[in-house]
Amino acid sequence: MKITDVTTLSANRFLFVKVETDEGITGIGESGTWAFQDAAREAVNSFKEYLIGKNPLQIEHHWQYMYRSYHFRGAAIMGAISAIDIALWDIAGKYFGCPVYQLLGGKVRNKARVYYHVGGGEIDTMVKNLKEAKAKGFTAVGHLSPFLDEPRTEPFRDMIFAKKINEAVERVAAYREAVGNDVDLCIEIHRRLNIPEAIAFARGIEEYTPYFLEDPTKPDNFDNMEFIAHKVNIPIATGERYHTPEEFAMLIKHDGAQYVRTDICLCGGITGGKKIASMAEANGIMVVPHNPLSPVSTAACIQIAACSPNFALQEYPGDDRPSTTDRYISHEFNKSQNSFCQGDVVKETIKCENGYLIIPDKPGIGVELVDDVDKKFPYKRRQIVTRLAEDGSVIDQ
């Protein structure tokens, strides 16, 4: 069997890769580079020249060849490698007539517990959405900001330390009161706090038993993540910004997190994700795959969830909702005018019931793109809208 073509399909906010073979078996994958899909698309086109004519089943060799082919690294490059890798595993599963996780050692669970996206621009809205998530059967919720989901176009004005931290703590208290002890709260900071703010906030919410505190500060510096993790009694989660197994190895060595957020569409695909999960398992660290993308990403993540003993939770944005970029980032988004649901890009989504994704038994990754997906859902480039503080400086959100 040989690879005959590698094509990219840009649909809505997503970048998909399709790999075709001379035996009629086709695999699909997805890139997780968010705002820089155009760069990842060109990286795929560069790797295409190497892949044509190769045996698609030599997945590890192709991963090593692409990963080590140049002197450079970067999210766009790794997004391309990840999408290709997922597609190659999809082909392998279909070729051998089994789910990808079977080729990785077989499943260790029948279903994967998820955390559901909950947001809101006001505290009343957030509480209402939390209660609705609980009523739907979800036992964990995430993307849960103590600073609410305010528009990125408006200046952030809470510059006073006491006001900023205490009001954020009060919101977490309201979240816990809304759902009681029946729902785990995954608190998302999106790197907004500096080190002393992160420590003060984490200590303030300790009594409300959050499942984890994600990206309390910029995770680029492993020493900073280690410092915070050692100063607080709440598990730290991070990893969505990392795009190589080596970065996760350094994070683990620094003891900077108790949950690693591997993005299968960014960290090297299923190959990279499995390497990272094994490293984490050997060090007593749990895996919570990052997944703000389409059902193709969910299907790839679920392969790791199925076969990794140290899997904890699967991020699940909801297939019956618009893309995450539209809901949380686009300042032009109007729900009343947007009928697109991200589940529309595939022929069938993975079943979710009572807060769990049911591990599928279909060959490959278990989902297929709808025909002409790029024509039905035209590509929308993500705009760069970075929030500023009241004094004009840049903040993270």
Say how many CA atoms lie within 13 Å of 279 toward its Cβ: 21
Mean local confidence (pLDDT), 10-20: 96
| Residue-wise pLDDT tens digits, 355-374 | 999 999 999 999 999 999 99
| Residue-wise pLDDT tens digits, 92-150 | 999 999 999 999 999 999 999 999 999 999 999 999 999 999 999 999 999 999 999 88
| Residue-wise pLDDT tens digits, 276-327 | 999 999 999 999 999 999 999 999 999 999 999 999 999 999 999 988 877 7
| Integer Rg of the chain from CA | 20
How far apart CA 369 and CA 67 sit, in angstroms, is 27
With contact defined as beta carbons under 8 Å apart, do 277 and 107 qualify? Answer: no
Catalytic residue set: 190, 290
Average pLDDT, the chain: 95
Q: Is the pLDDT of residue 336 over 60?
A: no
| pTM, entire model | 0.96
What domains, with CATH codes, occur in the chain?
3-102 (3.30.390.10), 105-362 (3.20.20.120)
User: Token digits for 373?
Assistant: 């997906």
CB atoms within 10 A of CB 372: 10
| Residue-wise pLDDT tens digits, 159-206 | 899 999 999 999 999 999 999 999 999 999 999 999 999 999 999 999
Q: What is the pLDDT of residue 172?
A: 98
| Residue-wise pLDDT tens digits, 229-259 | 999 999 999 999 999 999 999 999 999 999 9
